[in-house]
Structure 1
Amino acid sequence: MPADPETTVAGLWAALSDRDWDRLQTFLAPDCIYLDVPVGPAAAARGPEDIVKRLKIGIAPLAAYENFPGLMVSNGVDVMYEHSEQWRWPTGESALLPFVSVHRVSDGKITLWKDYWDMGALANHAPPSWLEDFANADMSWVFDATGLV
């Protein structure tokens, strides 16, 4: 029997906080869509491998990354999770970013993951090279989810 949706979502975030990319993928359905809402649906990622490629662009280069749990509410299928993330770059900058993440869970797997956060708060604390590094990253993960989310 699959885990309840709250347990699935908590497991995903624990794996991400540990930057355990293989474990993170076990919580995602094969056709899961990941969307950073501030970036928009034209730059979503689809499927566990591409979602990890997308997440690694921002998180893998960090000197430290931690997710701080918060309020989680569920209607049995959709799980909303209010939390925060601490980002620390090797150059000394850091940012504490508040998030609300919305997940749809089916049969113990996340099928949709949307992150709502303030990109300006990140840009104001990130090193000057952050956006340039992002722009030069592997973008093979890009999936246009317009009309699907």
Structure 2
Amino acid sequence: MSVEVRVADEATDVKATVLGMWAALSRRDWDELKTYLSQDCIYLDMPVGPTAAARGPEDIVKRLKIGLEPLASYENFTGLLVADGADVMYEHHEEWHWATGESAVLQFVTVHRVEDGKITRWKDYWDMGALANHAPPTWLADFAAADMSWIFDATGLV
């Protein structure tokens, strides 16, 4: 019985870490968000691929800010969360609203790996076309002009 309790506690801890990070992101609390990420955490948007990943809390936040900081409002909505040991799959959606009036609802499946209470891997699967079709006309140009010092090639690591 003690093994079952320990496994249940570990699954609860892994889920709490993931949900805590997403709650911080939904508030755009960048400092709190960093506390959930390991120093070598790799983040990548799967539509872009591993050559444009970010690594480590500072660079991951730089990457996230490019898309989220300019928004008038942003919110993550909780969905199905499934944990298998250190691996977590999270089905959720985000709502993005720009000051210019455009808005988008983005459906995500995110895969996390949590080790020693920190997220070590974060892969977002989503439809980039859904964003491009609803974002302001300047969105892609603004993204291309942003600070890209965060880019990390994670080929072979994810």
Short-chain TM bin: over 0.9
Summarize deviations over 1:50-79 as a string: whole Å, max 9, x none: 000000000000000000000000002100
Q: Secondary structure at the match of 1:116?
A: strand
The normalised TM-score by structure 1 is: 0.98
Which residue matches 1:28? 37
Identity rate, percent: 76
Once the two structures are TM-superposed, the CA of residue 4 in structure 1 deviates from its matched residue by: 1.1
Once the two structures are TM-superposed, the CA of residue 16 in structure 1 deviates from its matched residue by: 0.2
Q: Which residue among 52, 63, 77 is the counterpart of 1:68? A: 77
Please report the RMSD computed on the Cα atoms of aligned residues, expressed in angstroms.
1.2
Say whether residues 1:16 and 2:25 are aligned partners: yes
Give the Cα–Cα distance (whole angstroms) in 1 for the partners of residues 78 and 33 of structure 2: 16
Summarize deviations over 1:29-70 as a string: whole Å, max 9, x none: 000000100011000000000000000000000000000000
Residue correspondences, number: 149
Say whether residues 1:56 and 2:58 are aligned partners: no
Which residue matches 2:130? 121
Which 5+ residue runs of structure 2 have no aligned equivalent?
A: 1-9
The normalised TM-score by structure 2 is: 0.92
Which residue matches 1:96? 105
* AA of the residue aligned to 1:128: P
Once the two structures are TM-superposed, the CA of residue 90 in structure 1 deviates from its matched residue by: 0.8
More helix by share: 2
Within 5 A, what are the aligned runs for 1:131-142?
131-142=140-151
Say whether residues 1:145 and 2:141 are aligned partners: no
Q: Secondary structure at the match of 2:133?
A: helix
Q: Which residue among 9, 12, 37 is the counterpart of 2:46? A: 37
Once the two structures are TM-superposed, the CA of residue 94 in structure 1 deviates from its matched residue by: 0.1
**Runs of 4+, deviation exceeding 6 Å:** none
- Over alpha carbons, which structure has the higher Rg? 2
Once the two structures are TM-superposed, the CA of residue 84 in structure 1 deviates from its matched residue by: 0.1
* AA of the residue aligned to 2:23: A
* AA of the residue aligned to 2:71: L
